[in-house]
Amino acid sequence: MEKPLTQHIVPGRKPLNLKEYEKVGGYQSVRKILKEMSPQEVQALVKDANLRGRGGAGFPTGMKWSFVPMGPDAPSPKYLVANADEMEPGTFKDRVLLEGNPHQLIEGMIVASYAIQASISYVFLRWAYKLAAKEITQAIHEAYEAGYLGNNILGSGFNLEMHLHTGVGRYMCGEETALLNALEGKRANPRAKPPFPQVSGLFGKPTIVNNVETLCNLPHIVNNGAEWFKKLGLTEDAGTKLYGVSGRVKTPGCWELPMGITIRELLEEYAGGMQDGYLFRGLLPGGASTDFLVEEHLDLPMDYGSIQAAGSRLGTGTMIIMDDQTCPVGFTLNLQHFFAQESCGFCTPCREGLPWVEKILMAIDKGEGKPEHLLTLDFHTKYLGPGNTFCALAPGAMEPLQSALKYFREDFERHIHEHHCPWSKSKAWQPSI
Ligand SMILES: Cc1cc2nc3c(=O)[nH]c(=O)nc-3n(C[C@H](O)[C@H](O)[C@H](O)COP(=O)(O)O)c2cc1C
Ligand code: SF4
């Protein structure tokens, strides 16, 4: 089984330095594109490869790049930003790539920058990723020394600056337009779209924001071709994916596997199944802002189309498992506490609605809920849904809530009718609020 993204990552061992990375073929894709390919050819290759963004929305990468103005009259400078903010609960896949092989990310950023003719690039890094910050700083320094960054890269006439920018720990900064405001030193609100960042992004100039995992795929696509990349996937989605599993499983972790592996294989073969004494109850397939799936979905492939058809989203591909001894109300409350806390407060439905949802869930969890509370929660899932708020944070928050109300409604009703949490005497996890 090919594992292009993680083949040189050994847990617990320092990442490859520049010399070691070059020995295993590192920076070959940069030599290739600068010598043999036009920026438009790189864009076409990535489009043909059917690479979809790994940051959560799955937008086709080549198509996203194609909206950037090109040619001598295009605004300048253009920017490329690697989104390494990774604060989605349950998600720790980019961390593996950042800490494990920082040169692979830098190489991917050079490929992306060349494709859109960006001359300035940033890694926007989650503040808590201290080790990643150290490794990336060192790798950027080595890449400058070797002439892969800076002016006239490898004598090609192409120039690229690269900077590391560390955030201050807000989930909101992962949303690409809020991220751009943060990079400009402003409050991290999202921006109105249009104009899209591809046309008017950082400092009003054309900008591409791509996820770390998306960018790390680029050197391999350039070196091996679009057909090779498409064949890595088991279903119609191309490539491999860094999948993760957390919750009460025997061996939680993160694995690079072919796109389209089933949920059951991930859960049983890689995560080792449920811990002794616990049964599977449900899962969030791609981080906290995706809809719950249940037992009947276990044989679904973990790809964009299959998970969407089942009413959820692949998201970041890192699943959170809920077991039978965890209260679904407490579980949902804990997530809503996070989302309410991370709301940027810019638009009313989210600023007011999320704390209201949290308050109602807290009352239900304590046994103080009323039957009409369920209708108020249903109402919120509709009015904080897509199209009613300024960005996707609130609609994302509603995904686990609406699906919990669908699949675990009887648990909510029991809390209300019995005036207490049926799990409260078990050793189960309780929300940390
Ligand atoms: C609240 C919120 C947080 C987000 N956090 C991240 C993040 O940490 N990393 C990321 O790559 N994308 C995140 N996204 C998605 C980005 O807005 C954007 O779609 C992504 O970086 C694009 O990269 P891709 O096309 O390579 O997937 C977030 C979106 C929202 C609404
Ligand atoms: S939906 Fe929430 S996070 Fe997004 S802009 Fe509105 S208040 Fe801010």
Peptide bond into 194 cis (omega under 30): yes
Query: End-to-end CA distance of the chain, in Å?
Result: 43
Q: What is the mean pLDDT of residues 86-113?
A: 97
| pLDDT over 70 at 430, yes or no | no
pLDDT (0 to 100) of residue 142 = 98
pLDDT (0 to 100) of residue 34 = 98
Q: What percentage of the chain carries pLDDT values higher than 70?
A: 98
Residue 117 lies in a domain: yes
Local structure of residue 153 (DSSP, 8 states): G
Atom of ligand 2 nearest to the CA of 395: 1
Nearest by Cα to 364 from 317, 330, 324: 330
pLDDT (0 to 100) of residue 427 = 44
H helical segments located in 255-392:
263-264, 304-309, 328-342, 348-365, 371-383
Ligand nearest to the CA of 396: 1
H helical segments located in 101-217:
102-116, 130-145, 176-183, 212-216
- How far does residue 176's CA lie from ligand 2's centre (Å)? 13
Two tokens at 131?
A: 């080790």
Q: Are 230 and 255 in contact (CB under 8 A)?
A: no
Q: Are 252 and 63 in contact (CB under 8 A)?
A: no
User: At which of 294, 323, 352 does a domain end?
Assistant: 323
Q: How confident is the model at residue 1 (pLDDT cuts 50, 70, 90)?
A: confident
Number of domains making up the chain = 3
pLDDT tens string 131-184: 999 999 999 999 999 999 999 999 999 999 999 999 988 999 999 999 999 999
Cβ of 351 less than 6 Å from ligand 2: yes
Residue 423 lies in a domain: no
Please work out, in degrees rounded to the nearest 5, the angle formed at the alpha carbon of residue 285 by the alpha carbons of 126 and 395: 70
Peptide bond into 195 cis (omega under 30): yes
| CATH number of the domain residue 317 falls in | 3.10.20.600
Containing structural domain, residue 292: 240-323
| pLDDT over 80 at 399, yes or no | yes
Q: What is the largest CA-CA distance in the chain?
A: 74
Q: Are 93 and 103 in contact (CB under 8 A)?
A: no
Residues 148 and 224 in one domain: yes
pLDDT (0 to 100) of residue 365 = 95
Ligand 1: which residues within 6 Å by Cβ? 53-57, 59, 64, 83, 85-88, 171-172, 174-176, 209-211, 214, 391-393
- Interatomic CA distance for residues 415 and 250, integer angstroms: 30
Q: What is the mean pLDDT of residues 182-192?
A: 95
Per DSSP bridges, beta strands 79-84 and 120-125 are parallel
CA distances, 9 to each of 14, 85, 104, 283, 415 (Å): 9, 21, 11, 28, 47
pLDDT (0 to 100) of residue 53 = 98
Residues 145 and 40 in one domain: yes
Residues 76 and 167 in one domain: yes
| pLDDT over 80 at 428, yes or no | no
**SS3 (DSSP) at 117:** coil
Cβ of 172 less than 6 Å from ligand 2: yes
| CATH number of the domain residue 336 falls in | 1.20.1440.230
| pLDDT over 50 at 269, yes or no | yes
- Interatomic CA distance for residues 427 and 220, integer angstroms: 47
pLDDT (0 to 100) of residue 240 = 98
Nearest by Cα to 86 from 27, 153, 8, 169: 169
Q: How confident is the model at residue 296 (pLDDT cuts 50, 70, 90)?
A: very high
Residue 121 lies in a domain: yes
Report the mean per-residue pLDDT for the chain. Answer: 96
pLDDT tens string 364-396: 999 999 999 999 999 999 999 999 999 999 999
| pLDDT over 90 at 102, yes or no | yes
